[in-house]
Amino acid sequence: MPEDARGRLTTDPFDHRVTKDGRVLVSRGGRVVVTVAGPAADRLVAAIDAAEDDTAVQHLLARATGNYRRGNERR
């Protein structure tokens, strides 16, 4: 699992909530930043349930937001 070089996932972590209809609401700082629905939500919930620790969950939620690789595309 890639590291969080700036430590942002520990100082300002993501939070998630699964709704009754299966959507996953990913929030940060009290604001919903993305809503994942359909098969992608099912895969995300399964991955979160199988995650080893909170760091792995934070990386999964960061990837779900779509801004995971900003700044390090050249590596």
Predicted confidence (pLDDT) per residue in 11-63, tens digit? 888 999 999 999 999 998 889 999 999 999 999 999 999 999 998 999 899 88
Distance CA 21, CA 3 (A): 33
How many Cβ atoms are within 10 Å of 38's Cβ, its own excluded?
Answer: 9
pLDDT at residue 71, as a whole number: 57
Cα-based torsion angle of the residue sequence 41, 43, 46, 48 in order, rounded to the nearest 10 degrees: -70
pLDDT at residue 38, as a whole number: 96
Query: Do 26 and 64 meet the contact criterion of CB atoms below 8 Å apart?
Result: yes
Query: Do 33 and 65 meet the contact criterion of CB atoms below 8 Å apart?
Result: yes
pLDDT at residue 43, as a whole number: 96
DSSP E strand boundaries for the chain: 14-18, 24-28, 31-36
